[in-house]
Structure 1
Amino acid sequence: MKKQALAALIALSVSIPAMAATFNSPDKVFIKASAAHAITVENWDSGENAASTFTNAYKFTNSYRISHGLLGAKADVVMPEALQRNMSVDLSTIMIDDLDGKMPLTTFLRDRLKNHSMVVLKNNHLVHQHFWNNMDENSTHLDMSVTKSYTSMLAAIAVSEGKLDMSKPVTDYLPELNNTGWSKATVQEVADMRTSLKMTPTKGKSWDDRMTGAQGYNGDLSKTYPNGVADYFKFVTSVTEPMGSKYMYQCANTEVLGKIVEAATGERLADLLESEIWQKVGMENDAFLMSDPSGYPMASGGLNATTRDLARTGRMILNNGKNYLGEQVVPKQFIDNLFAGNDTVRSAWSKGKESALADGWYKDQFRLLNVGGHNILAMVGIHGQVVAMHKETGIVIAMNGGYPMTETPRMAISLFHKVIPAIIDAINEYKSK
C-alpha cells in the first residue's frame, strides 16, 4: 500500500508543470518581531547583527523562492543524491596559528572567523559537516557575493544555447547604458570585473549606498528608484582605467551581467536559477533570492541557500559541470576556462589590489587562487561565505559565516592561507595513511 501511495505521489509530482520562482514581499511579521531585538530593516546587515540575521536575510527584503523541485516540479527535475560518508576528518585535530599561538581549527573558525557552518566533500563523499549559530543542515544562509558565480553560470548556459555572445558590447543587449560607464565595455569585460568604473563609494564603505538603496536592501525606496537597480546605473558615467585592462571588484558589474542574461534569454533571472541550476544539480532544499522592488533579483549578492547545497554546486563544477547522474548542467568549456585563465585576466589581476593575497585571476565571477601550491577555484562572499574547489583532489569546502567586517585582509588571509589549505592537506594526509 505504501509503495502504491509513493508511486501515485511521484506520478503527481512529475505531471504538474513547474511553477516559476515565487515572488514574495518582505515578511512584516518577522520584521516586527526583529524590532524587539533592536534589529530593523535599516540595520539588519550590520556586523553586530550578522549572526542573528544572516540565516533569515531574505525576510527583510523582497525575494523569490527558488524551488529545488519536489511536488509540482517538472519531470526532468533531478532529486538529491544521498551523500555517503566513508571517511571523516576531525577538524579539532588540525592546529592553526594565530596571535596567541596554536589553536584547534574548530576554535579558530568559530571564535576568530565567526563561521556559522561548513560542509566538506571529497568527490561524492561527505568528509565533514558542522552547523553552528543555531543552524542545521536545512538552514539557509545569506551567501552574499557567492551569488555572483551563479549569475555567471547562467550567462554561460545562455552562451551554450546560442542566446548570448560574451564578446559583444554591453549596449547590444542593454542600449539604455549608452551614456554610462559601460558604454565601451564588452559582456566579457563586465563578467571579468575589468571595467574600472568610476564609482562614488559611501564614506567608510567600498560600495555606493545608492545601489543598495535602489535594490531595497535596507528599506523600500521604490518611489526614488521605481525601476529598482536599473535606476542606479545612470549614476555610473565614466571609468578610471583603459577599458578591460585592470581587475577592479565592483558589484554593479554583476547587476549589469544579470540584466544582460535576462535580455538575451527573455526570461527572469530567478526563473533561470530555478530551472537551469537548482532543479538540475539535485539540491536538497529550496533557496531564496533577494530582489529589488521592481522584481529584479540582487544578482550580485542576494542568494540565501543551505551550505550543503553550496557544496553540491561545487561538486557539480568539479565534475566538469555535470550533476551526479552525468547530465550536463553548466558547460564544460566554461569551467575549463575558469581553471585555465588567460593572459588578459592574469594581467588584469596583477594590477588589482587582491593580487597581494595570491597569484591568480578573476574570471567570469570566480577567483582562481594559487595558495600553498594549491590552485583553488573559489566563489566568495564578503562575510566569510565561500565555496572552495580543489580540482586535483576533488575536494569541495563550502562555508557560511558572519565575519563582522567586510573585505579585510585578515579574513582573506585566514580563509585562503590558513583554513582551506589546512583542510586540503589534512584530507590528503588521511588518504595517504
Structure 2
Amino acid sequence: MSSSAFESAYGFPRSDVRLSNWRQSPWNAWSFRHVCELIPIARISATPGLTEEPRVDREDLVRREFGVDGEDVTVADLLRKTSTDALVVMKSGRIVAEFHAPNFTLQSRHILFSASKSVTAIVAGILHGEGLLDLDEAVPAYVPELRSSAYADACIRDVLDMRISLDFEETYQDPRGDFARYRRAGLLEPVEPGQVRETLIEFLSSLQKGAGEHRGPFRYASPNSDVLGLVLERASGERFADLVTARLWQPLGARQDAYVTVDASGAARSGGGICMTPRDLARIGEMMRSGGVVGGRRIVPEAWVRDTVSGTPSGQWNAGKLADWLPGGSYRSKWYQRRAGSEAYFALGIHGQWLYVDPRAEMVVAKFSSQPVAVCNDAKRLNLALFDALAAMA
C-alpha cells in the first residue's frame, strides 16, 4: 500500500505509528493488525497448503436488530460502538456469519492481548495429558531462575487459576510502575533515558509476594501467564512458538500462520502477544466446544476441557477485583465462565478481544476490536448482549 493510499485508508500516515503510541486510538486500528511491524515475533506455522476457506454472507448479520437497555439496535450499531475490527460466528461447527472492518482481510492477523492466556492454557492441558506437566509441582522445578521470586512456593495450578499472591498491580496508565517495567521487558514500549531494559525472565524474577499466601482469591495478574509460558517451554524442551505449532496449530487445521511477540532474549509473550486471524481463533473455540476434538482427532484431553469450563468455586471469584462486571462468574485455567444460569465461557483481552463459547446455542464467536480504552466494563456489557442476541438468532 502506498503512503497516500495508507493515509486515505486509515486517516493518518504510517510514520505516525510508533512503539510509544501503538495501543492508542486512532493508531491501534492499524497496529493491532500489524504488530509484527513493531515488535519482534516468532512464527506459529499452519499446515502448508491448507488454505481453503468457506464463503459466507457478510451483509445479513449487520442488519439484524435486537434489544439493549430497552432500545432496538442493529448489529452494525453495536459493532461500531465497540470499535470492532472483525467478527466470526460459528454455529454447530460451521461459519455462518462474519464482519470485517475496512482493510481487514481473511489473512489479517490481530493481536489477542490477554485472550492469549487462554490459548497458552490449552497447551498446558495438552502437556499435562502427555504427562510432561505436573500441576502440583512448584514453579521453580521447571524454571529455577524464579526460586527467589514470588513464584518460589507457587504451584502450576495456582498460576493457571490466577491465585498467586503477587506484589504487582495491572495499572495500564502508570508510565513508571512495575506494569510499565513489564511492558518494556516485553518490548511493548520504548526505553526512555534513565530506564533499564530487562528481559521477561529478569522482570519476573524480581517480583515478590504480596499480602497473603498463594491459593487465595482470584487475583488477575498478567505476569502469571508469561511464567506459564516459560514453564511450558522447560517442560517440553521446545520454544513456545514451536510447541504451539506442533501441539495445537497444525492439529487444529489452522488456515493461516499465527505469531507471538518475543522479548530481546526470544522469550514469548505467552500472556498477551499471540496474533492470529479471527477464523482461526473461532476454530480454537469450536475445538473447545467439541470437548477438545477436531475432525475426530483428539487434541486436548476431555477431562481438561471439562475441568476448564466448570470454573472455580464462586467464592474465590467474588472475593476478587473483577467480580463487579461478571457477577456470579468464575475463572479456571485462564478461561472465564459466565455462570449465572449460563454454560457459556470465554477468553478475553484488553481493547475488546473475545473468544466466546455458548454450548447450549452450539455457538462460537471470535471478535477482534480496537477499543480506545484498554478496559471498559460498559463495552463488556454490550458485547455480552451481542453474544446473547447472536445465540438467539436462527
Normalising by structure 2, report the TM-score: 0.89
Partner in structure 1 of residue 39 of structure 2: 61
The yes-or-no answer on 1:212 pairing with 2:190 is no
The yes-or-no answer on 1:423 pairing with 2:390 is yes
The yes-or-no answer on 1:341 pairing with 2:308 is no
Partner in structure 2 of residue 149 of structure 1: 118
Give the CA deviation at 1:317: 0.9
Residue identity matched to 1:361: S
Q: How does 1:34-433 map to 2 (within 5 A)?
A: 36-70=14-48, 79=50, 83=54, 90-97=61-68, 101-110=71-80, 112-199=81-168, 204-205=173-174, 208-219=179-190, 224-225=196-197, 228-324=199-295, 326-343=296-313, 346-356=314-324, 357-370=326-339, 373-416=341-384, 418-426=385-393, 430=394
**Cα distance in 1 for residues equivalent to 2:169 and 2:75:** 39
- Partner of 2:345, secondary structure, is strand
Once the two structures are superposed, residues 314-345 of structure 1 have per-residue CA deviations (whole angstroms, 9 ceiling, x without a partner) of 11111111112x111111111000122343xx
Once the two structures are superposed, residues 369-428 of structure 1 have per-residue CA deviations (whole angstroms, 9 ceiling, x without a partner) of 126x43211011111111100112220011100111112211221112x111111122xx
**Cα distance in 2 for residues equivalent to 1:199 and 1:423:** 37
**Cα distance in 2 for residues equivalent to 1:407 and 1:394:** 28
Q: 1:203 to 1:365 in 2, by over 3 A?
A: closer
Give the CA deviation at 1:38: 1.8
Residue identity matched to 1:53: S
**Cα distance in 1 for residues equivalent to 2:361 and 2:202:** 45
- Partner of 1:399, secondary structure, is strand
- Partner of 2:164, secondary structure, is coil
Q: 1:52 to 1:88 in 2, by over 3 A?
A: closer
- Partner of 1:48, secondary structure, is coil
Instruction: Decide whether the 8 Å contact of 2:323 with 2:329 is kept in 1.
Output: yes
Once the two structures are superposed, residues 341-367 of structure 1 have per-residue CA deviations (whole angstroms, 9 ceiling, x without a partner) of 343xx3211111222223221111111
**Cα distance in 1 for residues equivalent to 2:317 and 2:172:** 25
Once the two structures are superposed, residues 92-146 of structure 1 have per-residue CA deviations (whole angstroms, 9 ceiling, x without a partner) of 22224369x4321211112x10011101001221221111131022211111111
**Cα distance in 1 for residues equivalent to 2:171 and 2:337:** 29
**Cα distance in 2 for residues equivalent to 1:163 and 1:143:** 27
Q: 1:246 to 1:70 in 2, by over 3 A?
A: same
Residue identity matched to 2:151: W
- Partner of 1:261, secondary structure, is helix
Instruction: Decide whether the 8 Å contact of 1:310 with 1:387 is kept in 2.
Output: yes
- Partner of 2:150, secondary structure, is coil
Residue identity matched to 1:47: S
Gaps of 5+ in 2: 1-5, 7-11
**Cα distance in 2 for residues equivalent to 1:35 and 1:237:** 43
Residue identity matched to 2:110: H
Residue identity matched to 1:104: T
Instruction: Decide whether the 8 Å contact of 1:84 with 1:125 is kept in 2.
Output: no
Give the CA deviation at 1:262: 0.9
Give the CA deviation at 1:203: 7.3
**Cα distance in 2 for residues equivalent to 1:93 and 1:287:** 31
Normalising by structure 1, report the TM-score: 0.82
**Cα distance in 1 for residues equivalent to 2:246 and 2:352:** 28
Once the two structures are superposed, residues 155-200 of structure 1 have per-residue CA deviations (whole angstroms, 9 ceiling, x without a partner) of 1111111111011111221222222111221110011000031115
Residue identity matched to 1:102: D
Could you tell which deviates more after superposition, 206-215 or 118-127? 206-215
Q: Percent identity?
A: 25
